[in-house]
Amino acid sequence: MKNRKSLCITALLCTAALLASCGTLTEETSEGAAQTDTPASVTTVSETEVSETVASTTVSETDTAVSETSTSETVTGVSETAVPVSETSTAETAAETKNEQASENGSSGNENSGQEASTEKPAEPEPEPEPETGDAFIDLKGDTAESSSSKVSVNGSEVTIKAEGTYKISGTLNGCIIVAAPKDAKVDIELNGVNICNSNGSAIRVDTADKVKIISGSGSDNSLSDGGSSEACIFSKEDLTLKGDGFIRINGNVKNAVQSKNTLKITGGTLEVSSQNNGLVGKDKVAVEAGQITINCARDALKATNDSDAGKGVVYVTGGNINITAGDDIIQAISEITVNNCSINAKCEGKKANCLGAVNVDEGCITKIK
């Protein structure tokens, strides 16, 4: 606005000066015309032309000033407007660039995350250890024992068998072999020259399993003895079988020599049994099928005790050679006694076959020695 005012003032001043000049020129022309007797019409035309010229010049200069002013203002306005537009465009471009970079970074991050997610595998569970195969060995070492099998634990002089399998044992132990396996486990214990003496309980104790076999290794000599408050030198809460091709000496120093709360079976081997009470005891059944057996006991030699379940509490001797010295009966049972295909030579203070139920003894199988 200041520039426009300045231009207008300048234009007015120029116009005024031009008009003044024209007035002087007119006066001089008039005087010259009068002197040269120029016609008045000429003078009039000249003034008119001059006036028009002056007017045209004034208008032209005014238009020029106005044009310049408008142009200057327009340019200035455009320039002033262009700067914010440029700044706005620059800001928008920067924002768009930033957004594009962020988008690209986000996409890259997502792609990387996806790649990492696809690259990283879920942690696989540790594989369960494969069950051991083959026989487990237990080396008895006096007051302790050693075994590389995970199925065997040793706690001082107590050696515990924890799973199904065959266990080969050798050495001397002042303690106990314990079977604590699953209820469906079948456990074979092979004695290969062992001497187990427990002054506080059974030499071999079966707490849990399905069936347990105690096997005398071929040609081996083995000795077991108990003490303390033991029920039996070999005591089992489950089915128990004695077999093999070796020798086992069983000393029941407290009560019974061998006792099972279920079935006791003898299928082989050489057994030498001594006890302060009964020799071989099975609650449900005692079954002797083979073997060379010597029993020296204070009371009954072979005994079954289940008097609450019908058909149980039976003794079957269907093989083997047995020599007995008993302080009471040779055989005592509840439901049944069956003896055949065997040889029993016995010296006793009681009966040959003492049973409330059926007694089936083949002639010649039991010889009572006075």
Contact 284, 304 (CB under 8 A): yes
CA 67 to chain centre: 90
At 356, which helix (H) or strand (E)? Answer: none
Is the pTM for the entire model greater than 0.85? no
pLDDT tens for the chain, 370 residues long, are 545 555 556 666 656 665 655 554 444 444 443 343 433 333 333 443 433 433 343 334 434 333 343 333 433 333 343 334 344 444 444 445 445 554 455 444 444 444 444 556 666 666 665 556 679 999 999 999 999 999 999 999 999 999 999 999 999 999 999 999 999 999 999 999 999 999 999 999 999 999 999 999 999 999 999 999 999 999 999 999 999 999 999 999 999 999 999 999 999 999 999 999 999 999 999 999 999 999 999 999 999 999 999 999 999 999 999 999 999 999 999 999 999 999 999 999 999 999 999 999 999 999 998 7
Contact 331, 339 (CB under 8 A): yes
What pLDDT, on the 0 to 100 scale, is given for residue 14? 59
What pLDDT, on the 0 to 100 scale, is given for residue 216? 98
What pLDDT, on the 0 to 100 scale, is given for residue 134? 78
Query: Do the bridges between strand 158-161 and strand 152-155 make them parallel or antiparallel, or are there none, so unpaired?
Result: antiparallel
What pLDDT, on the 0 to 100 scale, is given for residue 310? 93
What pLDDT, on the 0 to 100 scale, is given for residue 165? 97
Return d(Cα 68, Cα 321) in angstroms, integer: 145
Neighbour-count burial of 283, counting CB atoms closer than 10 A to its CB (0-12 exposed, 13-18 middle, 19+ buried): buried
- CA 174, 178, 180 angle in degrees (round to 5)? 160
What pLDDT, on the 0 to 100 scale, is given for residue 369? 87
Contact 245, 217 (CB under 8 A): yes
**Which tokens is 333 given?**
């049972």
**Which tokens is 313 given?**
């509490």
